[in-house]
Amino acid sequence: MTQDKALVELLYSLADDDFILAYRGSEWLGLAPHIEEDVAYSSINQDMMGHATRLYRILEELGEGKADEISHLRKPEQFRNAILLEERNGEGTYLEKPDFDWAFAVVRNYFYTVHKKIRMESLRKSSYEPLKDTALKVSIELQYHLMHWDMWFKQLMTSTDEAKRRMTSAIERCWIEMNGVLSLGPMADEMTSKGYVASEEDMREKWLTHMKKTFEEINAPFPKRLAMSKGNGRQGEHTEDLKTALQTLSEVYETNPTAGW
């Protein structure tokens, strides 16, 4: 196993973020607002799962174990994804009375994708070559993901009173957890000093600058101070939502562990 704990922690946070959010996105299959969105959202989730796969395979090369096993068989406290990304889409389940919140999906994906773009821009200058190569490839697809969620976010925020009410509620829900996404975790200083990624402060400032510009464009009040109310997923702190998600994912994997991604 590699001795560079900071690098491993960074790779897990990057991979787990995409893996868990892609899973939550996959639960929208057949439930999106219209058929065109169903196809587009499915494509985005497939891309994100592919990004996670690349990162898990780097971890495999570093001696962390087989990519399939570290993605599906770790315990919840071993995951490093932000708590916001693991939260359920809404009431019910995919197979039983799904009452999902599309406004929450749009806001969560938009906020996350903006930050992911900032992270990838940083990683394109990473001192760790495999991360640099991954960032270059991911950035191509990410450009289209951002265009997609930017369009949804702005259209709904400038639509009907009902749409704006739902979006405002989703913004408030995401804002109080967004610091968990922006966090690099307890080894942030080492990640930065070794040149793996830009500083947490630098990326947070760039994210806030982007957000302020977006809110100005749609003439919406800018939310108050960012927070992380349910814990820091970068430290293995998670909710029951992750536990149930991983139970589903591991059940599928254990049914046919020889299947490829």
72-119: pLDDT as tens digits: 999 999 999 999 999 999 998 887 888 999 999 999 999 999 999 999
Which of 6-10, 213-217, 242-246, 249-253 is least confident? 249-253
> Residue 261: is its pLDDT beyond 70?
no
Are the C-beta atoms of 228 and 183 separated by less than 8 Å? yes
* 42-53 residue pLDDT tens: 999 999 999 999
Closest CA to 6 of 181, 169, 188: 188
Rg (Cα) of the chain, in Å, rounded? 18
Whole-angstrom Cα distance, residue 254 to residue 236? 23
* pLDDT more than 90, % of the chain: 91
84, 181 in Cβ contact below 8 A?
Answer: yes
> Could you tell me if 124 and 143 are in contact, meaning their C-beta atoms sit under 8 angstroms apart?
no
Name which CATH class applies to 5-255: mainly alpha
Could you give the CA distance from residue 222 to residue 216 in angstroms, rounded to a whole number? Answer: 8
pLDDT at 3 > cutoff 80: no
pLDDT tier for residue 258 given thresholds of 50, 70 and 90: low
Give 126's contacts (C-beta < 8 A, 6+ positions apart): 132, 135, 195, 196, 197
Please state, as a whole number, how many other Cβ atoms lie within 10 Å of the Cβ of residue 246.
22
> Residue 257 — pLDDT band, cuts 50, 70, 90?
low
137-141 long-range contacts, CB within 8 A, separation 24+: 137/54, 138/51, 138/54, 141/47, 141/51
> Cβ(245)–Cβ(193) under 8 Å?
no
What φ, ψ does residue 62 adopt, rounded to 5°? -85, 0
Are the beta carbons of 90 and 104 closer than 8 angstroms?
Answer: yes
Alpha carbon of 259 to those of 29, 52, 91, 242, 250: distances in Å?
A: 21, 17, 31, 23, 13
Q: Residues 179-235: pLDDT tens digits?
A: 999 999 999 999 999 999 999 999 999 999 999 999 999 999 999 999 999 999 999
Tokens of 43: 């494509």
pLDDT at 96: 83
The Cβ of residue 157 has, within 10 Å, a number of other Cβ atoms equal to 21
Q: Which amino acid does the sequence have at 258?
A: T
From 226, 243, 183, select the one nearest 17 (Cα to Cα): 183
CA dihedral of residues 136, 139, 141, 142 (deg, nearest 10): 160
Is the separation of the CB atoms in 67 and 53 below 8 Å?
Answer: yes
Please tell me the predicted confidence (pLDDT) of residue 260: 53
